[in-house]
Chains A and B, each alone.
Chain A
Amino acid sequence: MENIAPQLYTLLVFMVIGSIVAVETKNLLSAVISVSAVGFALSVAFLLMGAPDIAITQLVVEVLVLIILIRGTILLDNTAVETHTDTLAVVASLVFFGLLLGFGAMIFGSRGFPEFGEPLMRVSRVYVQTGLPATYAANIVTSIILDFRAYDTLGEASVLFASVLGALALLRKDGKVKREEEAAA
């Protein structure tokens, strides 16, 4: 595996800048586009790290979310989002950032970060070694998410089902109560 660190660091810097722009910008449409830029950069990062499955899913979902968000925001004119600086929030975020850095230094300071993909855990070793002979699926990602861990995928499908039910219930044309009132009137 060739050294991909420079490209990854470039993408990372781009993503950090994009996130800051998305948070700080006054214009809602610019914020949506910055968030999507971060998502597309993440997709490229997945591709560089050798995960085309995740890259495809990330890209496609990003496109869909971009369409939905732009359609949701393009007609809204509240571009000037009110900003107010809260001292407590700034202090709290600084404290938490310091805690994060402190714990990171405690854990990784002496030993350094582990190598990419190391250590290989017992369960994932079993998946990698028996994925092809046990399932005959050439794409090991599919063999994991639909065979070894199909329970996870079932839960994911249930979450999607529940979210669609919730969206349709919240956005339906008129509630049952209103229709009953109309029928009574």
Chain B
Amino acid sequence: MKGMTLIVKTITDFVVAFIVVFGAYIVLYGHLTPGGGFAGGVIIACAFILLMLAHGSDAAFAILPAKVAHILDSAGALAFLIIGWIGMTGGFFFLNVFGRGEMFRLLSSGMILPLNIAIAFKVGSSLFLVFAALAMFRRRSFRAMIEEELS
């Protein structure tokens, strides 16, 4: 059986969706309440890592393949830069040229919300990739060890 026991798998199936929603909340409300792109991105990455630990890496890669995570990682960094360059239309790099909206509303504070989302994609997918790379590395070295013992 891949992954951990049935108890862990069942609880994981219950909890993962809530963790992702909480991470999204932390990201989207980063400019109003404590939190932000980095913390929320790490929380979302933690949800996928929990999935990977409980069900094995194939289950996590079925939802978020490594190739997609690569693309999201690069896209987040690129989106951050592009939002910075949009500020050049006002004269300066990272100038807040978007409408500031109404205070204390979700759609306010101009470029801060898109920047938070970009950072969340970047941080979340890159930490997931680091964990996946470490897991793959460990499995491979484990296999090499067994092959050494057999030969």
Please list the residues of chain A having a beta carbon within 8 angstroms of any beta carbon in chain B: 52-53, 55-57, 60-61, 63-64, 67-68, 71-72, 75, 132, 135-139, 141-143, 145-147, 150-151, 153-154, 157-158, 160-161, 163-164, 167-168, 171-173
Q: With A and B bound together, what is the CA distance between A147 and B83 in angstroms?
A: 11
Q: Which residues of B contact A142 (CB under 8 A)?
A: 30-31, 36, 109, 112, 116
Residue of chain B at shortest CB distance from A142: B31
CB-based contact A164/B34 at 8 Å = no
Q: Which residues of B contact A53 (CB under 8 A)?
A: 34-36, 39
Q: Helix, strand, loop or mixed for chain B's interface?
A: helix
Please list the residues of chain B having a beta carbon within 8 angstroms of any beta carbon in chain A: 26, 30-39, 42-43, 45-46, 49, 53, 73-74, 76-77, 80-81, 84, 93-94, 96, 100-104, 108-112, 115-116, 119, 122-123, 126-127, 129-131, 133-138, 140, 142
Given A68-B134, A164-B126, A167-B130, A158 contacting B77 (CB threshold 8 A)? yes
New A-B contacts (9) at CB < 8 Å, excluding given A146-B36, A153-B80: A53-B34, A60-B42, A60-B46, A64-B42, A68-B134, A135-B96, A139-B30, A147-B109, A147-B110
CB-based contact B49/A60 at 8 Å = no
Q: With A and B bound together, what is the CA distance between A87 and B85 in angstroms?
A: 56
How far apart are A83's CB and chain B's nearest CB, in angstroms? 26
